[in-house]
Structure 1
């Protein structure tokens, strides 16, 4: 694979969201490593998912992925990943016995998903889409996207 493309401005806010998603992964792993009460981690995930991750998924699914054809393999893969991550969130709140393993799985799968979007999907979109489509996408993102701001008191991941 050649040199990565410079990120189109339409995708920059989504990449910034991905940075915070990777921080979520780090926080989960930090909490697990410190052997903290998993309820603290789960409460944070619940907050982060409802305030940031699900709105990000919806923005992508409703407004970004639609620029790719329904049968585009990258689109199908990323939509499948979103569904899988949502299922893991549901499992986290049902499962009581193997919660540490599920937390680690969720963290690993979320990290892999973000890397997929950053390294493959966004590159694919920048190559496949015309500049006017990317500019239209940029207008939508500028209008709808909200920057991630943390409003959480229990910083269990801190030393």
Structure 2
């Protein structure tokens, strides 16, 4: 949802408290990144991805290229956030749109490739382990998708 708001520069829900001014939108993105995305990226990079690499089986398509692409996306988005936090005003509308498009593309790859492969290639025991990892992460994470004024 936030990706779409960033791309459009507004919310499609007329009752949404999503700000109309670019400076406030940048602030909301920085808050969302700090509270939601950064912890999620760390979970994926340090918990989920290493586990998937451990489970690679002989003859199967290697996990490394997909996981490397996802890590690269994380790195790109972190750099975009760093730039936005230093210079919020200069080129902010374009930066917000670009970040939104990057986030949307990243989510698409996770949904269409990563999650599909996990379901297809992991054993029932491995799926249970993934579910436990995700559950443990969810228990320690701050409330999801809740931002001030939302």
TM-score, length-scaled by structure 1: 0.73
2:90 maps to which of 84, 92, 97: 97
TM-score, length basis structure 2: 0.77
1:111 alignment counterpart? 104
Which structure 1 residue ranges, 5 or more long, are not aligned?
1-22
Aligned residues: 132
Preserved CA contact (<8 Å) 2:80 2:99:
yes
Greater RCO structure (CA 8 Å; 6+ sep): 1
Q: Do the aligned residues in 2 keep the contact of 1:28 with 1:107 (CA within 8 Å)?
A: yes
Alignment RMSD: 2.4
Q: What are the Cα deviations for residues 51-74 of structure 1, in whole angstroms up to 9, with x where unaligned? A: 111111111112111122286211
Kept in 2, the 8 Å contact 1:63–1:137? The answer is no
- Listed as ranges, the gaps of 5+ residues in structure 2 are 12-18, 55-62
Instruction: Specify the alignment match of 2:121 in structure 1.
Output: 128
1:82 positional shift: 0.8
- The residue correspondences of 1:53-68 to structure 2 (distance < 5 A) are 53-68=37-52
